[in-house]
Structure formats: C-alpha cells, structure tokens
Amino acid sequence: KDLEQERMNKTIQFARQIQQSLLPEHPLKNERIWFYASYIPCLQISGDYYDYIPIDQDRYFFLIADAAGKGASAAMMMSAARAAIHLQLEQTSRLSDIAATTNHLIAHKNEEGLFITAFLGIVDLKLQNLEFINCGHNPPYLIRSGSMRALSESFLPLGISEDTPYAATRLDIQSGDHLFCYTDGVIDSRNSQRNLYGDKRLKDFLNRRTGSNIDQLHRYLINELETFTRDMVQSDDITFMSIKIL
C-alpha cells in the first residue's frame, strides 16, 4: 500500500511539473499592452493553462483554458494542446484554423472523453481590434470606462467532436480597455456554508475595483477569495488573466 501511495505521489508530482512548465514565466508588459495572470493550484492536479505570445510587434496571441477532469491525463492533454497551438502559431495566425486543428488533435482517439474549454484571442494594436473564439469557456469580461460586457459568443469545447467548425468574432478595442479572463475555479469557490462565490460576486468585485491597476486588482481578488473560502479546501485550480490596453 505504501508503494502504491508513493507511486501515486510521484504521478501527482510529475503531472504538477508538466502543468507548471506550460505557463509563462513572467507577465508581459510594454508601453502599449499589459498581460498579467494569477494561478493558485489546488492540491489535486487539474488542467488550467494560460498563455500570451507575441506574434509580431503589433499582434499578441493569448488563451486561457481548463481541461475537464483531474490527474495526469488532464495535464497531459493540456500539454498536447499547448504543443499543437505553439506549432501552429509558427505557420498561421488564423484563429479558426488554430482552434479546429487543436480540436481535431484532441478529439482523435479520445477514449477517456476528456475535453478542454478555452478562450483564445489575438489582440491587434495596429488595427485596434480583438479577434476571439470561445470554446465553451466562462465568458470573459471586457471592461471599458465603467461598463462591462461578457463575451459570451461560444462554440463547443475542444475535444468533443473531431469536425467542430470554429469561427472568430472581431470587435474594436481602445486604450484603457481591460479584458478579464478566468477559469471556473474562481466562481466555483465555496465558503463553509457551501455557497459558491459565483458570477454575481465576481461582477460586483470587478465593478468595485475597475479603477485599479491590474496587478493590484489581482491581489485584491486573491484576498477576497481567501476571505470568502476561509478554511475550506480548494477543490479546483483558480486561474485568472487580465489584458490591459495602455
């Protein structure tokens, strides 16, 4: 039994190393744009992932994603998705192609029925637009001078069906815009009364803190979630990412 426990601990450690290695090492900030993310892992392995990658001097690819399930299989599937996306970005910046190819790869021979929810986008600072595809993920919020819009247009998660078509939505962006993306670990956090933190509390928080710098806003949200959950054991990874147009 001890051997079995040791083997399981090693598997968890290995999967955690995989997961940590997927994430960017530093925030990305210049005089035009700022990417900032927070990641709070739970005790078990689950499959949260975020990324931001400059395509050229004006365009930036980004995504936030959450693999269904926990354990090494979720981490391995996310690792395969990341590799597929990075490989494609060397050849194309068509979001619909990136989503379709990644989906096909994950759905092919997917005996365990795993899937990934993801929100992927490209910010173009020259054309001043945002192109995005939501693959069954929690809708991010676009916050602009006090107003807040959920980007809820959505397609099937990645990995459900090999031939799912994906199409990008495009919208204009301007200086001061803040895109807040998150995984369901944020809104599914529970307190001792088993109440969820939920969408309403998150929206209220974002409305209250809309004037903060995004690094401050992230610290405030971490503190708020810690206060809300108190001594409850965290059952899912908590990940959130902000993109600020400067």
Query: What pLDDT is attached to residue 20?
Result: 77
Length of the chain: 246
More confident residue, 25 or 117: 117
Tokens of 133: 């595809």
Instruction: Give the Cα separation of 242 and 227 in Å (integer).
Output: 21
Instruction: Give the Cα separation of 104 and 88 in Å (integer).
Output: 13
Output the pTM of the full model: 0.93
First to last CA, the chain: 56
Pick left, alpha or beta for residue 71 (phi over 0 → left; psi -120 to 50 → alpha; otherwise beta).
Answer: left
- Angstrom distances, CA of residue 177 to CA of 18, 72, 93, 123, 165: 33, 37, 22, 11, 29
Tokens of 213: 């710098």
Burial string for 161-190 (b: 16+ CB within 10 Å, else e) reads: eeebebebeeeebeeebbbbbbbbbbbebb
Instruction: Give the Cα separation of 120 and 132 in Å (integer).
Output: 6
Query: What pLDDT is attached to residue 29?
Result: 97
Q: Choose the weakest-confidence range: 10-19, 51-60, 78-87, 235-244.
A: 10-19
Query: What pLDDT is attached to residue 45?
Result: 67
Instruction: Give the Cα separation of 89 and 81 in Å (integer).
Output: 12
**Which single residue is written with the structure tokens 């919208």?**
171
Question: CA triplet 58, 242, 69: central angle to 5 degrees?
Answer: 115
Sheet containing strand 129-135, strands side by side = 46-54, 59-70, 116-124, 129-135, 169-172
Average pLDDT rounded to a whole number, residues 127-156: 96
Query: What pLDDT is attached to residue 120?
Result: 98
Each residue of 17-75: pLDDT tens digit?
A: 777 777 998 999 999 999 999 998 876 666 789 999 999 999 999 999 999 876 677 77
Nearest to 180 by CA among 70, 48, 35: 35
Each residue of 156-214: pLDDT tens digit?
A: 999 999 999 999 999 999 999 999 999 998 998 988 888 999 999 999 999 999 888 99
Query: What pLDDT is attached to residue 19?
Result: 73
CB 158 within 8 A of CB 81: yes
Q: Is the pLDDT of residue 77 over 90?
A: no
Average pLDDT rounded to a whole number, residues 118-142: 98
